[in-house]
Amino acid sequence: MSEKERKFKRGFEGFDLSMFIGEEIYQYIKKDIDHGEIFPALRDNRIDFYYEGGCIFQYKNNRFSYNPAYLKYNEEKYKPQNSKNSIFKNHNFDLKTFYEDLKQGVKNRFTTKNNKETERQFLSRLYKSTHSCKESNTVVLDIEIRFNKVDGKKCDLMLYNNQKKKLMLVEAKVVGNKYLVSKTTPKVIDQVREYSSWINEGAETFTKQYSYYIEFMNSVFDKNLNNDIKDICKSAKLIIFETEKKTIIDKHKQKLQVGLGKGNVWFVSKDKSQENIDIDTIWKMLDK
């Protein structure tokens, strides 16, 4: 096993499906996964569950845990069960109420004071096509991808086109992000170039590990994706969400397109960003 393979792994040794689906909390999580509200992401021997941009639950060592930090953004009704914040079957509170309170805490955490949508909220729209009933050739396969554990940098999305059996690494920004504009070189250009270097270094690792990822997701979450991955886009991509009140002027658009290549950048207009963003359209615009 190479150094990169040790650092980037997607799998779950010793996973017990019957124990997993038998957990009381899972009946609520599964319903929200099916409705596209919660996104499960396989890591190295754990599953992270994301809601509205925040990691709300984890499943590791065959037990669920939650992030208590989100409760302070709602009402501090609950005390952590122990230092690991595990949810036990013998809890002494109403689990459904707790579940909804925790979700509300996540919403409150990632809602700005003036109610503007954040990058996380824009991205959460894209997750809905993966596990809901909506048919699409493209899915969000993974989120918050960290290739090198040492530097801790994360890329927002790994898309997968099931028809082409091809992966695409995508970074996303909302207009107003300071990385998008500069008198010299916008920081996002170096950021996306670094993600492209991940592909150059680890294309084989990505295709191999995400084949394992898809096989796991198919068996656990009743997906039917093709795990025979053939390719990955050679460059990382950039999506920029424009909002109703904020757009990016042409000279800054041109600077980003020149820096990354015109086919590697796509601007989601303010009109489209107010609707359900079509994941297949994103793929079509960036698969160049």
Span 126-151, average pLDDT: 83
Question: CA separation (Å) from 86 to 25, 116, 270?
Answer: 11, 33, 41
Question: CA separation (Å) from 237 to 65, 118, 171, 279?
Answer: 33, 19, 6, 14
The helix (H) or strand (E) run that includes residue 281 is: helix 279-286
Tell me the pLDDT band of 67, cut-offs 50, 70 and 90: confident
The pLDDT, as a whole number, for residue 109 is: 85
* Lowest-pLDDT range of 4-18, 32-46, 111-125, 136-150: 111-125
* Lowest-pLDDT range of 36-40, 54-58, 143-147, 240-244: 240-244
Residues 6+ apart with CB under 8 A from 81: 87, 88, 91
Q: Give the integer Cα–Cα distance in Å for 134 and 159.
A: 16
Residue of 60, 172, 125 lying closest to 49 (CA atoms): 60
Tell me the pLDDT band of 114, cut-offs 50, 70 and 90: low
Q: What is the pLDDT of residues 160-195, one digit of tens each?
A: 999 999 999 999 998 889 999 999 999 999 999 999
Tell me the pLDDT band of 79, cut-offs 50, 70 and 90: low
- Of residues 46 and 108, more confidently modeled: 46
DSSP assignment of 199-240 equals HHHHHHHHHHHHHHHHHHHHHHH---------EE-SS-EEEE
β-sheet bridge partners, residue 40:
49
Mean pLDDT for the chain? 87
Taking every pair of Cα atoms in the chain, the longest distance, rounded to a whole number of angstroms, is 60
Residue 232 and residue 207 in contact, taking contact as beta carbons nearer than 8 Å: yes
